[in-house]
Structure 1
Amino acid sequence: MIKGRASSKRVLLILDDVDSGEQLDALAGGRDWFGSGSVIIITTRDEGVLLAHDVKQDEIYKPQELNEDLSRELFMLHAFDGELPQGEYVELSNEFVGAAGGLPLTLEVIGSLLSKKDVQEWKDTLEKLKTIPRYEVQQRLKLSYDSLDDLEKNIFLDISCFFIGWGRERANYMWEDCRWCPSAAIRVLVQRSLVKIGEESQEFEMHDQIRDMGRAIVDEESSRKLQKKSRLWNNQDSWGLLQRK
């Protein structure tokens, strides 16, 4: 359908967060699907998806990591509300900036985690961070999740699995029906940069890597027994469980 309608037109098509070749096959099967002068922009964390779709290396743009100055500025914005660190925090901040490897999301989440924490907590977190390879971004982000209390963890997992794009008030009704008091937990999640709330829409927003971390935590609860998972966010899992009933 897309090929038939767009083959004679010049279009701008943006495909965000593509994670499988099937998605590209369905939405941008070939260059001949679109008219001359068309621009197709694809964002993905898996370069192999692009290469398998005959995208040339010189057509792939790889975002650069933040340099040291920008990394330090972003980290301090979240760890100290933009103020300059004092005393032992100066050297510790430099170590965290180096360990983060210029990745903005890591700098934001770890900086938010450390905000208003004492020096010993900074040192403990730094040691944990150094044991996790830089490429294991989800495991690094999970340091913030691991420090949450049980209610905060449950609220976070609910949002990552079900409530992204939901209005805060709508989700609150469901939590309150479970006898939960979500307001304080949500405030912590926002402060930790794990969840954002749209200023006008009041809808929950979440970075896709943080979302994927939350869903991976749920999936790890029981990789084989669906009925033991606390949340069935995947349609195939939900359908599979219903078929067993």
Structure 2
Amino acid sequence: MADITLKNLGKIYPNGFVSVKDVSLKIKDKELVTFYGPHGCGKSTILRMIGGLESITSGEIWLDDELLSNIPPRDRPLAMAFQNYKLYKELNVHENIALGLKLRKLPRPEIEFRVKKAAVFLGISELMSKKVRKLSEIDRQRVALGRALVCHPKVFLIDEDFSRQNEMLRVQMLSDLRRMHEELDMTILYVTNNYEEAVKYGTTIVLMKDGEITDIRDKANLTDYQKISPVDADGNI
């Protein structure tokens, strides 16, 4: 199971800026939740707090019955894909994907099994011996996804900047994201400032503004108006 519960979550930076204000949310196992809102609304900060990249000012984050703040970031059963995915260009694809598993000292047969399975899923099996520096940006992005997948995460966190604002990269990333959700039954949280994208790919759409959740929409119950407009009856995003 991979239920995520945010309880009165808050983030205030040392300069006094309030990024996240008293956010409470329950995300069910195997959901693909898209967080939509303008730049600076707190959506990426929430993902970073779940992943342990940002400290929590107030509130709690639970993964099933575990309080995540009690678990060091490296030990959380999560995978994160943000803009800087830090591939090692002097290593080949296989070495990059396997690196995290080697650091965890998994048995070699298990490492090989996981790496091969991820490579087949992402369609990069023929690239395994190539140096990362010789790959296209799309293939580098897939290598980064593969490195995350082999860790068998309960939850996948992915920020829109992972695609580096390149339209071709973005389309491919979203296609891979949908397949991961549908075929691997993963709980996925995805941040975007594109409402049509949020509706197309999310099973649940969380709308945010000024650090707060303004609406939560179930894709299955969206009206035609809500499918084309992020604005609710009160004029909130």
TM-score for the superposition, normalised by structure 2: 0.30
Which of structures 1 and 2 has the bigger CA Rg?
A: 1
Q: Structure 1 or 2: larger helix share?
A: 1
Q: Structure 1 or 2: larger strand share?
A: 2
TM-score for the superposition, normalised by structure 1: 0.29
Q: Which has the higher contact order (CA 8 A, sep 6+)?
A: 2
